[in-house]
A and B are shown apart, each in its own frame.
Chain A
Amino acid sequence: MRKLCYIPVVAIWIAIFSVVGGVDRNNFKTCDQSSFCRRYRAMKKGESPYQLLLNTLKEGESDLQVSLINIKNVVHFNLKLTALENFDFRLEIDEAQPIKQRYRVDYALKGEPATRKLVVTERTSESITVTNGHNKAVLHASPFKIDLYNGKTLMMSLNAQGLLKFEHYRQKTEKPAVPEGEEAVEPPAPVDEAEADIGAWEENYKSHHDAKPHGPSAVGLDFSFPNADYAYGIPEHADSLALKATTATDPYRLYNLDVFEYELNNGMALYGSIPFLIAHGVEATAGVLWLNAAETWVDIEGGAHKGSNVVSSIVNFVSGSGTPPPPLEARFVSESGMIDAFLFLGPNPETVSKNYAEISGVTPLPPLFSLGYHQCRWNYNDEDDVKSVDAGFDQHDIPYDVIWLDIEYTEGKKYFTWDKIKFPHADDMMKNLSLKGHHMVVIIDPHIKREGGYYVHEDATSNGLYVKNKDGNDYEGWCWPGSSSYLDFFNPVVRDYYASKYSLDNFWGTTLDTHIWNDMNEPSVFNGPEVTMPKDCVHYGGWEHRDVHNLYGLTHIMSTFDGLLKRSQGKLRPFILTRSVFIGSQRYAAVWTGDNMAEWEHLQASIPMCLSISLAGMPFCGADIGGFFKNPDSELFYRWYQIGAFLPFMRAHSHIDTKRREPWAYDPETTSLVRSAVRRRYEYLPLWYTLFRHHEVDGLPIMRPIWYNYPKDKSAFTIEDEFMLGKELLVHPVTKSGLTEVSVYFPGEKDLWYDIDELELFSGHGTKTVQTPKEKIPVYQRGGTIIPKKMRIRRSSALAKDDPYTLQIALNADGLASGSLYLDDGETYEYQKGQYVSLVYHYDGTTMVSQLVDKEASFASKSWLERIIVMGVRKAPGRIVLKSQSVGEQEIEFAFNPNKHLLVIRKPAVPIAEEWKLFFH
């Protein structure tokens, strides 16, 4: 949410240091200030001390295990390589005889990954070769290295640079100050460079002390991608879509943090961390999932990277342009845990996404209302305020689905309570919203106010439900309520307890139409190191916060999801918005890009940020429309709505100190522009819903970079001012002030692109300028697609339930098109029992058919087919005849516009859930 912390120290600090506004970098660590990052960066390439002991090889059904030794300190490790079901591999490296167990990430994966038989095809004294279907792995013994192939193509190499690092757990040697360089003779513990680091056994950052009782424990590994030009993913950063080389900057950091007024164009950590990276080139696409929940830094180097890699370009230039660029490299290092990496061998973006989704899960079909427009503000003050905002939407004839309440609705920031003076009739308020098909989302944060008499605090105190500090007492930090403690969601008892708080009996004022916003779950601790929890805090199972930090938010939303599910006896799909994310968060919640700013640059950044998050497996992403901090002017405001209408999650939000900005807060023209944008959203809601269903089935992103659909198009690799929705729509929003035109890149050698406003062909392949008057949102339908729409705009999505559909067809160069439509009740899980309709449409110029994908499934929809729009028709048909079971055979009226090549088929009026066929004579 917001972060003008009213803590004295912070407030004063802000006043003094952040005169200009924007993030205070002093508040967050650099790599150099993080001892393990510093140590890792100090390593030299090509000096790997690790070797495989090939004679220790043990073959399992789907895996092999072999010993790995660090010859410098003679520490042994177990390496395990597993063949995954989709022909990818999983690599795990752990200590052979640890003095303390290393943390193995829980919760993030969908389940235990399915495996296949691993076949050892070759053993030499130097290497072992194994295959998994058409994919192959070659393990080299000395120096240790793994090469991974898809067919004959080398997709990636591990430890090719020799930057594998595994700091084993060790006893702290209570040696008196030994002069540097000299080693303590006794005990003869293995020694490595970690010992020498002053941050090895304790670290200080600003006024915070990290006790580090277990000493150094970092793990790191380099991945090379010889066929890749760019790396993508590893959100969340306010940076470009294509990751930049980090040779002259800090690495990208993954450590969930509440960053006040974050800055653009750098790799600083933000609210979420998804250590999934896609390396992409014309020939091949591969992916790496680095399954580690500790603080992680990622260095990027080589490939086609420009950016900050000035030095190497100069070197290349001086040494002659003949040398090929060094391969793209990504180096991950984490503070603790083990090495556990999933290696996706592609060879194309869709295979990588699909297989990654098999491992980490997908976003289940959201309730339909959550794809509508959300109206939020910190804060809608009271019942009257809510009522008048709701009335404002009716008065200005703008649809909306959800109104939100931020923290001020609670009694003293005690979650699961209401301020009874501002909201004395919360239950009635909720019912009145429901009567118009609207929903409400209220905020619930994970910090708990330490106040006697507050039942959650008392329960948590007496039952030991809080995270403990290093001394074993309940950890106390500062957040909205003042002194707070933090529920330990790693404890299943806590998750169950918390889930039960969402029951309608317990949470007065809520109904089944109330959904939840889980904010501040990095966790945010105003007075903690880097505004979060100290790493030496202790969680359930004795794990240090250091080991599990990036998982905290995930465990929080898991509990909320469970609670919402249980309160409807498992009938209704929950909607949750979370700020902190990790691998797997997509299974429970939508995400937004946090506390952005009312500036054009932030509007621009919302595209690459959500694209990166989408590539990392979280499709339900959005950015605060209007910008959270500061006041947008009218132009920025309506342009933001125009983008927002085409991002998966569409919510307007604003800081408490900003001026009111409901859609009608500006002049009538702005209101009308906003109205049009919101209506566009509702018009295309059937497409959105269908795309989300596709995602649930195939795991592919909904919002995609251009290159994702056109992987061989090199010119698209760094495009981040336009994107695609599925394979249907190309969106190039206006993201700069005063633009009267934008230059749109249309990919695909043979593809045709149709303007969805004009309903006519706009462009083939290439770059074309489009005029952008105020009302223009440059959105294009790809030739060859069929899009379902609803052209009747109601006050909420629920009210349009039975409304008829329009099919919008854009023909490709061959005059063909196909598409699909998915529909169900929009709110329950009945669809999982076959209560749905999924249709495919094919158009070939002489016929058009509607076919059920799953004939067993059915859903009693009252909707019907209102019209079919066909763009790109050369010649008017003589007559059109419809044939279906319920209608029989019937001639259908139509209109043809020869100038636009537009055919509009009037009122086929066949039930939408039916199969039918059109004949063009």
Chain B
Amino acid sequence: MSPNSDKEEERVSTTTKFSYPNMQTRHLFITLSCLVSLQRASSVEILRPRGVSVTKTSLYDPEKNFTCFDGSLTIPFVQVNDDFCDCPDSSDEPGTAACPNGLFHCTNAGHQPMDLPSSRVNDGICDCCDATDEFDGQEKLGGGHCTNTCQEMGRAARELAQRLAEMQKRGAEVRKEMARKAAELKASKSSRLGQLRKDQEEAEALKAEKEAIKKQAEELETAALAVYREAEELEKERRAQLSKEENEKEAKSMFELFDADKDGRISIPELMTKQEFDQNRDGQVTNEEARFFLNQNEEVGEEAFITECWPRMKPFYMMSTGKYIPPGEEPNTNEETEDPENFEAAQDDDNILAEQTEELADAVETEETPEEDVDDGEHEDEEEGDHDKEEEDSDHEKDGEKSFSEVQYDAETQRLIDDAANARHEFEEADRALRDVEREIRQIEESLDKDYGIDGEFAALEGECFEYTDREYTYKLCPFDQVTQRPKNGGGDTRLGTWGHWAGSESDRYSNMMYTNGQSCWNGPQRSTKVELSCGTENLLKAVSEPNRCEYKFEFETPAACHISEDASSKGIHDEL
């Protein structure tokens, strides 16, 4: 094969007349005049049947009978390319469409050679750029005849290959840098890990030490406090009694206040004059409202009032007089009744378009999103949760301290209490320090375990996100994390998958990423996304499609996918001859 293929010419030496095959020239040959390079003055003539590549020429010797490649049959050479299939393996008709599984070779000088199913010979479509597959002189499907376009196509292909190679080269440089940074990062992480492991040992030792101290101090504290605890119990009882008496006194005075007719009983009409009992704030105390406070009685005496009614009234009374703050928010009854109504309305409403239903379904899905997001951030949440709990705990302890501090301890007891509190505090510090170390170890190990490609070149993509917007949605790819979709006209994210695994072929494992376990489709499977990676000089999410319902395909360009290999660099600029 010569690199100077541009100068080569091809000449077809057949009669182009074609009517019925029996009238046709029996075998069709191509004569090639190869004017090869400057230093050769002579020309070489190679005769080969139509549709046969140079490498196979020797198998078709016009001087001999032809034997099918599979050896099943030997036929006179005139039956080669005579437009009748003799060989079961299709080898006798490389240049016609007669055989079912034949291959037609076009040289395509100036461009790439091609092997084409021989059923495409003379079918009215120009497949070979050198037009050799259509030689029957018939008008082609688009009108006209095939022309040789190999020069232009070859040039365009070479230019394209050139551009691709350059891009590949530039991309590969970036990739190298990405890999280098990844290696650096990995090294620093590894060394940090070593340090952390040491820290972990120290922290564990410290924690154990502090725990022992704490245990000892608390034992002393408990013993000392036992004395005081008894006294405290008594005091509590006394206070409870006092409070009960106060309540009764208050109730009695209220009884007198409400008993307008002073008949020793409080009746519904009496309560209905007290605006404080207007529970639903409609400006009126209804019979029902009043009855509620009388524990469903028409009227009550003093005793029943004190035990049954006042405890029920007190919060309302105090609240309306501004003295009481309820412990929790009252349930918003309005909201509760609204939802089912809306739902029913939606159901009944025949005027919802089919599309809207889909939207409805989508909306239902997206409503779930926040919840699911919570699930996703499991680690963080756990940690935050722990943190909150600690704070609560310490608040509680402070409260305890406060209540204790009301009691006056003797100096020795107080010292023991303080010691125990200190010991606890120091233990917690040590415990927290250990957990911090462990968390960092876990994070580093996870990241060191992750497969970021042969040279770790994909590591740099982690933590970044890339977007693509079509007419309806904005898609977001966050490599090694998740893939989401957000409607352009508002609405929440729908998760199309979380990082699953590399999914390229065995030979090219890092060419595809799979993101799995996305949100479930209405009446369908869980969403998933396949990300096809290709070489580019920059990271770019190029296209998104949904070839199957709920199975997405992303096309992503990144320098990390640029490989420089001998094959790739020379591909596409090689010609036959």
B100 CB within 8 Å of chain A: yes
Interchain CB contact under 8 A, B357 and A793: no
Interchain CB contact under 8 A, A9 and B350: yes
**CB nearest neighbor in B for A912:** B20
Most buried by B among A799, A802, A866, A906: A799
Known contacts: A795-B125, A802-B138, A909-B20. The answer to whether A867 contacts B84 by CB under 8 A is: yes
| A 780-801 binary contact with B (CB < 8 Å = 1; else 0) | 0000000000011111001110
Contacts of B97 in A (CB 8 A): 792, 794, 803
| B 265-281 binary contact with A (CB < 8 Å = 1; else 0) | 00000000000000000
Interchain CB contact under 8 A, B523 and A436: no
In the complex, what's the smallest C-beta–C-beta distance from B68 to chain A, in angstroms? 14
**CB nearest neighbor in A for B142:** A435
Q: List residues of chain A with CB under 8 Å of any chain B CB.
A: 4-9, 11-12, 381, 384-385, 397, 421, 434-437, 478, 480-483, 527, 656-660, 679, 791-795, 798-800, 802-804, 862, 864, 866-867, 886-887, 890, 906-907, 909-911
* CB within 8 Å of A: which B75-91 residues: 82-86
In the complex, what's the smallest C-beta–C-beta distance from A546 to chain B, in angstroms? 24
Query: Per a CB cutoff under 8 Å, which of A6, A478, A660, A792 touches B98?
Result: A792
**CB nearest neighbor in A for B24:** A909
Contacts of A802 in B (CB 8 A): 138
Interchain CB contact under 8 A, A397 and B117: yes
Query: Per a CB cutoff under 8 Å, which of A6, A11, A481, A794 touches B119?
Result: A794
Interchain CB contact under 8 A, B20 and A6: no
Task: Compute how far the CA of A862 lies from the CA of B523 in the bound complex, rounded to whole angstroms.
Answer: 55
Known contacts: A5-B354, A482-B353, A864-B21. The answer to whether A793 contacts B360 by CB under 8 A is: no
Contacts of A909 in B (CB 8 A): 20-22
Interchain CB contact under 8 A, A435 and B20: no
In the complex, what's the smallest C-beta–C-beta distance from A476 to chain B, in angstroms? 10
Interchain CB contact under 8 A, A660 and B547: yes
Interchain CB contact under 8 A, B125 and A911: no
The 7 A-B pairs at the shortest CB distance, nearest first, are namely A6-B354, A482-B353, A909-B22, A799-B123, A6-B357, A907-B84, A657-B549
Task: Compute how far the CA of A436 lies from the CA of B140 in the bound complex, rounded to whole angstroms.
Answer: 10
B230 CB within 8 Å of chain A: no
Task: Compute how far the CA of A384 lies from the CA of B553 in the bound complex, rounded to whole angstroms.
Answer: 14
Interchain CB contact under 8 A, B119 and A911: no
Interchain CB contact under 8 A, A7 and B357: yes
| B 20-45 binary contact with A (CB < 8 Å = 1; else 0) | 11100000000000000000000000
Task: Compute how far the CA of A481 lies from the CA of B546 in the bound complex, rounded to whole angstroms.
Answer: 22
Most buried by A among B84, B354, B545: B354
Task: Compute how far the CA of A910 lies from the CA of B549 in the bound complex, rounded to whole angstroms.
Answer: 54
Number of interface residues of B (CB under 8 A): 40
Known contacts: A12-B347, A435-B142, A793-B100. The answer to whether A911 contacts B548 by CB under 8 A is: no
Interchain CB contact under 8 A, B120 and A657: no
* CB within 8 Å of A: which B117-156 residues: 117, 119-120, 123-125, 138, 141-142
Task: Compute how far the CA of A769 lies from the CA of B380 in the bound complex, rounded to whole angstroms.
Answer: 68
Interchain CB contact under 8 A, A795 and B123: yes
Contacts of B83 in A (CB 8 A): 907
**CB nearest neighbor in A for B358:** A6
B319 CB within 8 Å of chain A: no
**CB nearest neighbor in A for B359:** A6
Contacts of A911 in B (CB 8 A): 20
Known contacts: A437-B124, A792-B97. The answer to whether A8 contacts B20 by CB under 8 A is: no
Contacts of B141 in A (CB 8 A): 434-437, 798-799
Interchain CB contact under 8 A, B120 and A482: no
Contacts of B547 in A (CB 8 A): 381, 385, 660
19 A–B pairs (Cβ distance < 8 Å), ordered by A: A6-B354, A8-B357, A9-B350, A12-B347, A381-B545, A434-B141, A435-B125, A437-B125, A478-B350, A482-B355, A679-B100, A791-B100, A793-B119, A795-B123, A795-B125, A799-B123, A800-B123, A867-B84, A907-B21
In addition to A8-B349, A794-B120, 8 A-B residue pairs with Cβ atoms within 8 Å of each other are: A8-B352, A8-B360, A381-B545, A478-B350, A481-B354, A658-B549, A792-B97, A887-B22
State the majority secondary structure of interface residues on B. loop
Task: Compute how far the CA of A480 lies from the CA of B353 in the bound complex, rounded to whole angstroms.
Answer: 9
Known contacts: A397-B117, A660-B547. The answer to whether A866 contacts B84 by CB under 8 A is: yes
In the complex, what's the smallest C-beta–C-beta distance from B23 to chain A, in angstroms? 8
B402 CB within 8 Å of chain A: no
In the complex, what's the smallest C-beta–C-beta distance from B358 to chain A, in angstroms? 6
In the complex, what's the smallest C-beta–C-beta distance from A743 to chain B, in angstroms? 31
Interchain CB contact under 8 A, B347 and A864: no
Task: Compute how far the CA of A660 lies from the CA of B548 in the bound complex, rounded to whole angstroms.
Answer: 6
Task: Compute how far the CA of A302 lies from the CA of B124 in the bound complex, rounded to whole angstroms.
Answer: 60
| B 343-378 binary contact with A (CB < 8 Å = 1; else 0) | 000110111111101101000000000000000000
In the complex, what's the smallest C-beta–C-beta distance from B519 to chain A, in angstroms? 16
In the complex, what's the smallest C-beta–C-beta distance from A738 to chain B, in angstroms? 27
Task: Compute how far the CA of A7 lies from the CA of B352 in the bound complex, rounded to whole angstroms.
Answer: 8
Task: Compute how far the CA of A481 lies from the CA of B100 in the bound complex, rounded to whole angstroms.
Answer: 47
Task: Compute how far the CA of A167 lies from the CA of B75 in the bound complex, rounded to whole angstroms.
Answer: 81
In the complex, what's the smallest C-beta–C-beta distance from B154 to chain A, in angstroms? 22
Contacts of A657 in B (CB 8 A): 523-524, 549
Task: Compute how far the CA of A887 lies from the CA of B23 in the bound complex, rounded to whole angstroms.
Answer: 9
| B 516-527 binary contact with A (CB < 8 Å = 1; else 0) | 000000011000
Interchain CB contact under 8 A, B354 and A482: yes
Task: Compute how far the CA of A665 lies from the CA of B541 in the bound complex, rounded to whole angstroms.
Answer: 26
In the complex, what's the smallest C-beta–C-beta distance from A883 to chain B, in angstroms? 14
Known contacts: A8-B346, A8-B360, A421-B471. The answer to whether A480 contacts B354 by CB under 8 A is: yes
Contacts of A799 in B (CB 8 A): 123-125, 141
In the complex, what's the smallest C-beta–C-beta distance from A239 to chain B, in angstroms? 30
**CB nearest neighbor in A for B86:** A906
Interchain CB contact under 8 A, A795 and B120: yes
Contacts of A7 in B (CB 8 A): 352, 354, 357
Task: Compute how far the CA of A843 lies from the CA of B124 in the bound complex, rounded to whole angstroms.
Answer: 35
Known contacts: A437-B141, A794-B123. The answer to whether A907 contacts B22 by CB under 8 A is: yes
Task: Compute how far the CA of A4 lies from the CA of B524 in the bound complex, rounded to whole angstroms.
Answer: 12
Contacts of B354 in A (CB 8 A): 5-7, 480-482
Task: Compute how far the CA of A911 lies from the CA of B19 in the bound complex, rounded to whole angstroms.
Answer: 10
* CB within 8 Å of A: which B315-361 residues: 346-347, 349-355, 357-358, 360
Interchain CB contact under 8 A, B100 and A6: no
**CB nearest neighbor in A for B141:** A435
* CB within 8 Å of A: which B1-31 residues: 20-22
Interchain CB contact under 8 A, A6 and B355: yes
**CB nearest neighbor in A for B18:** A862
**CB nearest neighbor in B for A436:** B125
Task: Compute how far the CA of A384 lies from the CA of B523 in the bound complex, rounded to whole angstroms.
Answer: 27
In the complex, what's the smallest C-beta–C-beta distance from B80 to chain A, in angstroms? 14
Task: Compute how far the CA of A337 lies from the CA of B276 in the bound complex, rounded to whole angstroms.
Answer: 77
In the complex, what's the smallest C-beta–C-beta distance from B387 to chain A, in angstroms? 43
Contacts of B352 in A (CB 8 A): 7-8
Contacts of A437 in B (CB 8 A): 124-125, 141
Task: Compute how far the CA of A466 lies from the CA of B545 in the bound complex, rounded to whole angstroms.
Answer: 39
Task: Compute how far the CA of A256 lies from the CA of B128 in the bound complex, rounded to whole angstroms.
Answer: 52
In the complex, what's the smallest C-beta–C-beta distance from B363 to chain A, in angstroms? 13
Task: Compute how far the CA of A804 lies from the CA of B19 in the bound complex, rounded to whole angstroms.
Answer: 12
Task: Compute how far the CA of A907 lies from the CA of B79 in the bound complex, rounded to whole angstroms.
Answer: 11
Contacts of A478 in B (CB 8 A): 350
Task: Compute how far the CA of A802 lies from the CA of B20 in the bound complex, rounded to whole angstroms.
Answer: 11
In the complex, what's the smallest C-beta–C-beta distance from A703 to chain B, in angstroms? 27
Known contacts: A436-B141, A437-B141, A911-B20. The answer to whether A527 contacts B350 by CB under 8 A is: yes
Contacts of A803 in B (CB 8 A): 97
Contacts of A397 in B (CB 8 A): 117, 119
**CB nearest neighbor in A for B524:** A657
Contacts of B346 in A (CB 8 A): 8
Task: Compute how far the CA of A435 lies from the CA of B140 in the bound complex, rounded to whole angstroms.
Answer: 9
In the complex, what's the smallest C-beta–C-beta distance from B72 to chain A, in angstroms? 12
Task: Compute how far the CA of A330 lies from the CA of B3 in the bound complex, rounded to whole angstroms.
Answer: 83
In the complex, what's the smallest C-beta–C-beta distance from B126 to chain A, in angstroms? 10
**CB nearest neighbor in B for A886:** B20
In the complex, what's the smallest C-beta–C-beta distance from A398 to chain B, in angstroms? 11
